[in-house]
Amino acid sequence: MSLKKGQSPSELPYVLTLVGQGSSDKLKLTYHNRKTGELKKKSEDGVTIAGLIPWLVKEWDTDFSLTEDGVVEFDEEYPGVVQAVLEGWHLARRKEAEKN
């Protein structure tokens, strides 16, 4: 049995491909492997999506600061990036069945 309780990784490296504004760009991130229930509680406590990103992302390969203000600035310059980073967190956490 290889999948055991409490054994999931604490960090999740991931590469997002962001398409739009006439280009396709790669954004390398390392997410914290937070549980979905933890994210839900933060959201219920009134934390904004821009405020959630620094809590979900350990590091990213961009010169925008990993703060709520930096996230807002990033999304103002590249609309949709905040939603993409949040979606990327869900994808990075997800396990999928592979055909044998």
| Span 25-83, pLDDT tens digits | 999 999 999 999 999 999 999 999 999 999 999 999 999 999 999 999 999 999 999 99
Q: Domain boundaries in the chain?
A: 11-93
Residue 42 and residue 55 in contact, taking contact as beta carbons nearer than 8 Å: yes
What 3-state class would DSSP assign to 54?
helix
pTM of the prediction? 0.89
pLDDT band for 3, please (50, 70, 90 cuts).
confident
What 3-state class would DSSP assign to 21?
coil
